[in-house]
Amino acid sequence: MPDFISDDTPAGSAHIVKPARAQYELTAADFANGRFTVDLVWKTPFGDTNYSVAVGLEVIPPADPTKYSIVSFVSTLDKITVNCLTTTAAPGDPYGDVVRLHAIAIHD
């Protein structure tokens, strides 16, 4: 198991680990388009994009978790942009569902 460091640890041979989290409230346009994107910003930028990311989608009750999924993400030095899908809302469906995206990055 490698040694891990955070943003506050001096440079060394250990891997840098960074968490990020963002909450997003869905709009009628998100449901109409069937998709939405959320940016997760790193506290401090990476020096390059040679890092691995695990991303999770938390659906806040009472929203239906089967309506949402992560499709892909794009990594940059200071953030990842997460692309998500949502099912088309039926007439009368309430908008304003809240989701929270979590990510952790490990620099290789």
Query: pLDDT tens-digit profile of 20-48?
Result: 999 999 998 898 889 999 999 999 999 99
Domain 17-107, what architecture? Sandwich (2.60)
Reported confidence tier of residue 9, pLDDT bands at 50, 70, 90? low
d(CA 106, CA 51): 5
Q: How many CB atoms sit inside 10 A of residue 30's CB?
A: 19
Reported confidence tier of residue 93, pLDDT bands at 50, 70, 90? low
Distance of CA 104 to the CA centre of its chain: 9
N-term to C-term CA, the chain: 13
Domain limits, the chain: 17-107
pLDDT > 50? residue 91: yes
Average pLDDT of span 74-93 = 85
pTM as predicted: 0.81
